[in-house]
């Protein structure tokens, strides 16, 4: 294929939507005459900022391969007109923009879409009205349009929600709503609040967050956002359509083992496989938008990076190959018989191809909790033997002193507190119970989604339980791999006080080889703050209340109530 040597850049190109609102885009296209396919990205984070507009693929390099790259500010953001109503606006606007892009005089009428996070949401919402020009998409690290984006099992993703509002939404929103003088003062206050955002995460009630409330123009959008009104409106548009029609689209899904949207990205892949077999999936040892070789407190090797995938590809080449196949009918770029799934296996730090997700050869194996009633001093044991008559473990969940977040699939300000991090300080707390296997004699691979079956009771009317899968190194270092949370009443309903219940806690997927000498560990607690809003144990939530009470939690592991984790083990 001949590489185009000259690229033309057009700034602030207008696109008028069905209601007369105009959105603006930057366009990168070959200077040579001809018709080319379009790659479209629609984002709320400013198309003129290179960290967003050039971050996911190189538009110049891609245009030199014979593509028109269009990067557009969505409605109500930066250059574009209109009122920003996140998620709810992207169905109709996505359809209109795709059809506009296909009609441009230098377009050949075929459109693909790309981008991560919100600008992967815009891809999925654009599918709903089935624009005829849209032929393939590449959604990365994003949510599922049938789920709330900032929640997990009825629990609010607190730090993510507040970070997104204060850091991503508020600056431009204030600029559009205020006079120049008012904005100058408002942005100073907002900057100061972002500098102390960790302290704001502690504030209750969440709906009255002072960092937002001091700006009256933010009140309405914050209220609707925190109450999931925008997302609910968007979902009414999706359920009104025939899912089998609009999910019938070739898609390349990109995910990270420590991405906050990992569960939902994999849900996208599995759902779309049911309607169109032309799906691909890649999962790296990455956090949200963080795709280098180092994350948290670990390094996974140079070729773990999305800029050197297995030493063969990078983000841009991955996109070019995918879209060459679907927009240029270049069948050489996707080899016949190539496995659709590519996963990075931590521990051995190797890429591996697979034929499906989840892996069919998985052997789901129970590892049971054991202890002498002292698992909160790290003496709990984890084995494949079923428990007999063992004393239960107890701990007190004090919402005024919650277990702090230490790594994981977080979306904190500037990527803080993400990825694998040593859990030993957390495990020393009296409100964390720990179950550890003996050191392994042979390697053991866990790839997929683990599940904790927790037999427990509480003296609260509602509470949370959290679980964490940990790889314990021979020197004692304990790195988190996967985690999950359940809000008790959300799963079971009714009053819980004193009732023994089996809670199912789905852990985020992972892929890790526990090497010889390593141990498998499960940490149990009732909070992971500020990743999630802390449960006040009163039956209310800290969205609306400041009242909190302590809860006495009991974990059972007897023959009749065998608390355990189900590990997805991959045989040799």
| Predicted confidence band of residue 143 (pLDDT cuts 50, 70, 90) | very high
Q: What is the reported pLDDT for 149?
A: 87
Mean pLDDT, all residues of the chain:
95
What tokens were used for 310? 């297995």
Q: What is the reported pLDDT for 413?
A: 94
Q: What is the reported pLDDT for 152?
A: 82
* Nearest C-alpha neighbor of 390 from the set 376, 375, 405: 375
Residue 230 has pLDDT above 70, yes or no: yes
Q: What is the reported pLDDT for 332?
A: 62
Q: Provide, for the chain, the percentages of residues in helix, strand and coil under a 3-state DSSP scheme, each rounded to the nearest 5.
A: 25, 30, 40
Interatomic CA distance for residues 120 and 123, integer angstroms: 5
- What percent of the chain is modeled with pLDDT above 70? 98
Model pTM score: 0.96
| Predicted confidence band of residue 375 (pLDDT cuts 50, 70, 90) | confident
**pLDDT tens-digit map of 304-335:** 999 999 999 999 999 999 999 999 977 665 65
What tokens were used for 122? 């815009």
Which residues face 38 on adjacent strands? 68, 111
Q: If you average pLDDT over residues 236-242, what whole number do you get? A: 84
**pLDDT tens-digit map of 516-567:** 999 999 999 999 999 999 999 999 999 999 999 999 999 999 999 999 999 9
Q: What is the reported pLDDT for 335?
A: 59
Residue 223 has pLDDT above 80, yes or no: yes
Between 438 and 572, the more confident residue is 438
Residue 295 has pLDDT above 70, yes or no: yes
| Predicted confidence band of residue 245 (pLDDT cuts 50, 70, 90) | confident
Q: What is the reported pLDDT for 51?
A: 86
**pLDDT tens-digit map of 442-463:** 999 999 999 999 999 999 999 9
- State how far the alpha carbon of 136 is from the alpha carbons of 262, 322, 334, 509, in Å: 21, 9, 14, 26
- In this structure, whether the domain defined by 7-150+232-354 belongs to CATH 3.40.50.1820 is answered with yes
Domain regions of the chain by residue span = 7-150+232-354, 158-227, 363-570
* Nearest C-alpha neighbor of 238 from the set 142, 140, 127: 127
CATH assignment, 363-570: 2.60.120.260
Q: What is the reported pLDDT for 2?
A: 65
Residue 22 has pLDDT above 80, yes or no: yes
Lowest mean pLDDT among 22-26, 178-182, 385-389: 385-389
Interatomic CA distance for residues 519 and 17, integer angstroms: 57
DSSP three-state, residue 518 = coil
Residue 494 has pLDDT above 80, yes or no: no
DSSP three-state, residue 405 = coil
Q: Is 248 left (phi over 0), alpha (psi -120 to 50) or beta?
A: beta
Interatomic CA distance for residues 140 and 325, integer angstroms: 18
Q: What is the reported pLDDT for 542?
A: 97
Interatomic CA distance for residues 38 and 101, integer angstroms: 7
Q: What is the reported pLDDT for 331?
A: 65
| Predicted confidence band of residue 153 (pLDDT cuts 50, 70, 90) | confident
Interatomic CA distance for residues 370 and 393, integer angstroms: 9
Between 124 and 235, the more confident residue is 124
- State how far the alpha carbon of 349 is from the alpha carbons of 99, 344, 513, in Å: 43, 7, 9
Q: What is the reported pLDDT for 55?
A: 82
| Predicted confidence band of residue 5 (pLDDT cuts 50, 70, 90) | confident
What tokens were used for 484? 């999950």
List, by residue number, the catalytic residues: 117, 259, 288
Q: What is the reported pLDDT for 490?
A: 73
- Helix runs in 136-209, H state only: 158-163, 170-177, 180-195, 197-201
Interatomic CA distance for residues 466 and 523, integer angstroms: 8
* Nearest C-alpha neighbor of 67 from the set 94, 27, 99, 100: 27
Residue 417 has pLDDT above 80, yes or no: yes
| Predicted confidence band of residue 373 (pLDDT cuts 50, 70, 90) | confident
DSSP three-state, residue 519 = strand
**pLDDT tens-digit map of 35-55:** 999 999 999 999 999 888 888
- State how far the alpha carbon of 149 is from the alpha carbons of 227, 265, 336, in Å: 12, 11, 35
Q: What is the reported pLDDT for 334?
A: 64
CB 18: neighbour CB atoms within 10 A? 10
């Amino acid at each position: 294929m001949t590489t185009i040597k000259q690229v033309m850049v057009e700034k602030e190109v207008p696109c008028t939507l069905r209601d007369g609102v105009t959105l603006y885009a930057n366009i990168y296209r070959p200077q040579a005459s001809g018709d080319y396919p379009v790659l479209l990205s629609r984002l709320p984070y400013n198309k003129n900022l290179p960290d967003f507009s050039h971050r996911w693929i190189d538009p110049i390099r891609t245009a030199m391969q014979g593509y028109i790259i269009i990067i557009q500010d969505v409605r109500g953001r930066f250059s574009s007109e209109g009122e920003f109503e996140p998620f709810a606006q992207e169905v109709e606007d996505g359809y209109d923009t795709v059809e506009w892009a296909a009609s441009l005089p230098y377009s050949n009428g075929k459109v693909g879409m790309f981008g991560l996070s919100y600008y992967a949401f815009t891809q999925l919402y654009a599918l709903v009205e089935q624009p005829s020009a849209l032929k393939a998409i590449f959604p990365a690290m994003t949510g599922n349009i049938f789920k709330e984006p900032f929640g997990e099992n009825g629990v609010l993703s607190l730090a993510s929600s507040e970070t997104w509002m204060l850091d991503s939404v508020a600056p431009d929103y204030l600029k559009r709503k205020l006079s120049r003088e008012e904005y100058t003062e408002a942005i100073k206050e907002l900057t100061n609040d972002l500098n102390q955002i960790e302290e704001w995460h502690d504030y209750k009630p969440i709906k009255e967050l002072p960092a937002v409330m001091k700006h009256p123009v933010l009140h309405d959008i914050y209220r609707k956002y925190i109450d999931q009104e925008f997302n609910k409106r968007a979902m009414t548009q999706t359920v009104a359509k025939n899912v089998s029609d609009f999910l019938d689209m070739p898609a390349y899904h990109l995910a990270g083992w420590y991405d906050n949207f990992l569960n939902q990205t994999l849900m996208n892949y599995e759902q779309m496989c049911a309607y169109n077999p032309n799906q691909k999936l890649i999962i790296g040892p990455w956090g949200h938008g963080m795709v280098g070789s180092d994350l948290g407190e670990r390094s996974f090797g140079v070729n773990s990076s999305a800029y050197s995938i297995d030493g063969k590809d990078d983000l841009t080449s991955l996109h070019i190959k995918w879209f060459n196949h679907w927009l240029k009918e270049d069948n050489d770029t996707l080899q016949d018989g190539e496995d659709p799934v590519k996963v990075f296996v931590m521990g051995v730090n190797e890429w591996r191809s697979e034929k499906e997700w989840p892996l069919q050869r998985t052997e789901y194996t129970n590892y049971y909790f054991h202890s002498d009633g002292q698992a909160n001093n790290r003496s709990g044991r984890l084995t494949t033997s079923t428990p007999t008559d063992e004393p239960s473990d107890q701990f007190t969940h004090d919402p005024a002193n919650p277990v702090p977040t230490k790594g994981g699939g977080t979306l904190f300000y500037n990527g803080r507190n993400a990825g694998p991090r040593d859990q030993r300080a957390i495990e020393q707390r009296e409100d964390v119970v720990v179950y550890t296997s003996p050191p392994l004699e042979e390697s053991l691979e866990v790839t997929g989604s683990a599940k904790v079956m927790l037999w427990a009771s509480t003296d609260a009317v509602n509470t949370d339980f959290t679980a964490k899968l940990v790889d314990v190194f021979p020197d004692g270092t304990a790195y988190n791999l996967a985690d999950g949370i359940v809000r008790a009443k959300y799963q079971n309903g009714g009053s819980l006080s004193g009732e023994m219940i089996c809670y199912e806690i789905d852990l985020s997927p992972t892929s890790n080889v526990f090497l010889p000498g390593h141990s498998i560990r499960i940490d149990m607690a009732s909070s992971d703050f500020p990743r999630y809003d802390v449960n006040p144990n009163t039956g209310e939530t800290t969205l609306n209340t400041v009242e909190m009470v302590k809860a006495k939690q009991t974990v059972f592991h007897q023959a009749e109530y065998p608390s355990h984790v189900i590990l997805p083990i991959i045989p040799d």
